[in-house]
Structure 1
Amino acid sequence: MIKKTFLILFAILISSSSLFAQTEQQIKDKLKSQGITSSSQIKAELQRRNMTENDARKLAEKYGISYDQFIASYIVGGTDLNTPPKKTTTIKPIIPPPPPNPPKKTVKKAITKTVKKSGGLTYFGYNLFKNIPQSFKPTEIGPIDPGYIIGPGDVLQLYIWGAVELQYQLTVDIQGNIFIPTAGQFFVSGIAYKDLQKKLINYLSKFYQGLKTNPPKVFLDITLAKLRPIRIFVLGEVAQPGGYNISSYATVFNALYSVGGPLTSGSLREIRVIRNNKVITKVDLYDYLLKGKLIGDVRLQNNDMIFIPPRGKTVTIKGEVLRPAIYELKGNENLQK
């Protein structure tokens, strides 16, 4: 037991700074000279100095050394407790930083780059998504679909006028409630926008009887000041398929621009919008590119999916024509139509 204690103290002293560097024989001699031959005697020595083992450990932590180093120096070595240990300076070799890696091209840019074929012809229509014009960003205001379902995150503007005049901006909380200062909480989540005013009149008539008098003396109007963002999914032949949070006013074109459009391996003519596992519309971008028509550009709803299938069969048109390029054909199209 004594020899084991000697060896532990010796290993600690060798690994510490020069303050603690001593030979094993010197440590033994110093311990014997102090009459310390066991760990219990070390604790007794601490008690003699009016210290507990916990006090010694706290002082060791304060000085930035281990508990064993503290015992060897301040209890056995006789160093003054007010004298902090000397710190040795370690010189670390200076290692030059590795050369920076060359910037990697993003997957999106690498994939969406226009593919050229023989004769320098490109696939028609894909350069539409190179730049995003301001006109295709979703507007922050617009007509509200009467069937729009109120949900958490929507901000409502309530107006009451007539015999009583009040105006409140009310945010639908995560539980689906709004808090009207003069009437308390009212649950609105899941109510269609077109039905909201009628339900509010029925509820608030308990507090403002003039809402239901004939003729009414109090009038109420409720509007949507801010719509919550919706989450949609864009899948298929796009650079980064997945879920996206977009404005509630966004349409199919807005969503396509937000993801950089289809890859050249994807179709521009059979873009499908799927809602509740049903295809509600198909978008043919050639209608817009060649005719200026936004056919099928519906406003998106929460959890809608836009699916871009692989590009269909193609035909190359070159020579003395207006737009030499590689064109995608629909299933029922040919050179005659």
Structure 2
Amino acid sequence: MRMRYWLLLLLVLCSFPLSVFGGDYVIGEGDALDIAVWGVKELNFPVRVRPDGKITVPGLGEVVASGSTPSQLQTHLAGRLKELVKNPIVTVTVREITNSKVYIFGSGVKANVYDLSRRTTLLQLLCMLPEVKTADLRNAYLLRDGKKLKVDLHRLFIQGDTTQDLVIETNDSLFVPLLTDRSVYVLGAVNMPKSIEYREGMKVMEAILEAGGFTKFADQNDVVVRRKEGEQSRSLEVKAKKLFKEGDLSQNIDLKAGDYVLVKEAFF
């Protein structure tokens, strides 16, 4: 009796690796399974789930496997096999996963379908996308069951905030748009008005210095950063003298791609 208990426990433990995506894996069409009934050699066999979602089990015929977790299928088979085997102990192991996929789309990356053959996090998935550095991660999002998940891809991938990471699940969709404007524009009373390729972490004074610095006519306390956010625009005031003379670092604001830095002239 004790030996039977330990064997049953071992068989249950062997099925644990199937819970790889945050919950029990759901069997789908094309998946390869190993079915085993303890003590019945004829009922130990490999099988692949057909496109109709069914498998063929000796003595039972066709059985629907798609849509069930391995534990649910084990319970179902054990119930049906009671007519053929006394107290059947059934195990179902997913040997090959072909049903678990994540869909990547959007103009910022190459559209693709990735097979999730192992536990994969959102950060790991982003690292597999070579175009992600030129994508608009601030406006990217993850879809699950038709709903946007509250996760900040920019904070995760660019700023390294791993609290934003999560485990990808079957049929998740990742939308990544293209960053259409990758420049910062410095205009007005600077020595070399120009567009500058945006770099992560770029500050307003860094951009002004790259544009040759202030002219002698510039009003250093009248700098405006104009930023478009969705359909709206906002203006951020910068007082450079407070930064230089008082060390007020709050004036040296972070820029975003597409920002316009306008340095106004002083009136004498």
Does the Cα contact within 8 Å between 1:283 and 1:297 map onto a contact in 2?
Answer: no
Within the alignment, does 1:284 sit opposite 2:153 as a pair? yes
Residues of 1 paired with 2:160 and 2:128: CA distance?
23
Residues of 1 paired with 2:147 and 2:174: CA distance?
11
Residues of 2 paired with 1:192 and 1:290: CA distance?
37
Residue matched to 2:162: 293
Residues of 2 paired with 1:271 and 1:179: CA distance?
43
Please report the TM-score for the alignment, with normalisation by the length of structure 1. Answer: 0.43
Could you tell me which runs of 5 or more consecutive residues in structure 1 were left unpaired when the two chains were aligned.
1-140, 212-217, 321-329
Aligned-partner SS, 1:201: helix
Note the C-alpha offset of 1:155.
1.2
Residues of 1 paired with 2:92 and 2:174: CA distance?
32
User: Aligned pair in 2 of structure 1 residues 265, 189: CA closer, same or farther (>3 Å)?
Assistant: closer
Note the C-alpha offset of 1:296.
2.7
Does the Cα contact within 8 Å between 2:36 and 2:91 map onto a contact in 1?
Answer: yes
Note the C-alpha offset of 1:230.
3.8
Could you tell me which runs of 5 or more consecutive residues in structure 2 were left unpaired when the two chains were aligned.
1-16, 185-199, 207-228, 231-235, 237-248, 254-268
Residue matched to 2:211: none
Aligned-partner SS, 1:297: coil
Note the C-alpha offset of 1:274.
0.5
Q: Between Structure 1 and Structure 2, how many residues are aligned?
A: 175
Aligned-residue sequence identity (percent) comes to 22
Matched ranges for 1:107-122 at <5 A: none
Note the C-alpha offset of 1:186.
1.2
Residues of 2 paired with 1:142 and 1:161: CA distance?
20
Q: Which has the larger radius of gyration?
A: 1
Aligned to 1:183, which of 53, 60, 70? 60
Aligned to 2:174, which of 303, 306, 323? 306
Within the alignment, does 1:262 sit opposite 2:132 as a pair? yes
Matched ranges for 1:4-43 at <5 A: none
Residues of 1 paired with 2:135 and 2:95: CA distance?
41
Note the C-alpha offset of 1:170.
1.4
Does the Cα contact within 8 Å between 1:231 and 1:243 map onto a contact in 2?
Answer: no
Greater fraction strand? 2
Matched ranges for 1:192-211 at <5 A: 192-208=69-85, 210-211=86-87
Matched ranges for 1:1-337 at <5 A: 143-145=19-21, 146-162=23-39, 164-165=40-41, 166-208=43-85, 210-211=86-87, 218-240=88-110, 242-249=111-118, 250-267=120-137, 269-287=138-156, 290-291=159-160, 293=162, 295-302=164-171, 304-309=172-177, 316-317=202-203
Please report the TM-score for the alignment, with normalisation by the length of structure 2. Answer: 0.52
One-letter amino acid matched to 1:274: L
Greater fraction helix? 1
Q: Deviations over 1:194-248 (max 9, x none)?
A: 422111111221221x12xxxxxx42211211111444332234242x2424224
Residues of 1 paired with 2:18 and 2:91: CA distance?
18
Note the C-alpha offset of 1:257.
3.6
